[in-house]
Amino acid sequence: MHSTYVLYNIVPLAFLILLVYIFIDVLLDYFRKVEKSAKKRVMLYSSIFYVISLVQIKLGGFTLHQNPADNNRTFISTNDWFGIFDTMHFNISIWSYSALFYNVILFVPLGIFLLLLFDLKSNKKAISIVILSCLVIVVARLLLGWSGFTISNFGNTDIIYLLFNVLGGVLGIFLVKYAVNYIHSYKLKNQTKIVE
What's the total number of domains in the chain? Answer: 1
Q: Report the alpha-carbon distance of residue 195 to residue 54 in Å, rounded.
A: 47
191: containing domain = 2-195
DSSP 3-state of 74: strand
What's residue 102's pLDDT? 82
Q: Report phi then psi at 128, rounded to 5.
A: -65, -35
Per-residue pLDDT tens listing for the chain (196 residues): 656 666 666 777 788 888 888 888 777 777 776 666 777 788 888 888 888 888 877 777 666 665 555 655 555 554 444 444 444 444 445 556 677 788 888 899 999 998 888 878 888 999 999 999 999 988 888 888 777 777 666 677 778 888 999 999 999 999 999 998 888 888 777 776 665 5
What's residue 17's pLDDT? 85
User: Is-contact 54 145, C-beta < 8 A?
Assistant: no
> Residue 185's Cα: distance from chain center in Å?
31
Q: Could you tell me which of 180, 174, 167 has the C-alpha nearest to residue 105?
A: 167
What's residue 63's pLDDT? 65
Return all residues near 100 (Cβ < 8 A) that are at least 6 apart. 160, 161, 164
Largest CA distance in the chain: 82
What's residue 46's pLDDT? 87
What's residue 56's pLDDT? 78
What's residue 92's pLDDT? 47
Q: How far is CA 55 from CA 24, 52, 69, 118, 196, in A?
A: 24, 5, 28, 20, 52
Return all residues near 147 (Cβ < 8 A) that are at least 6 apart. 65
What's residue 87's pLDDT? 45
What's residue 167's pLDDT? 95
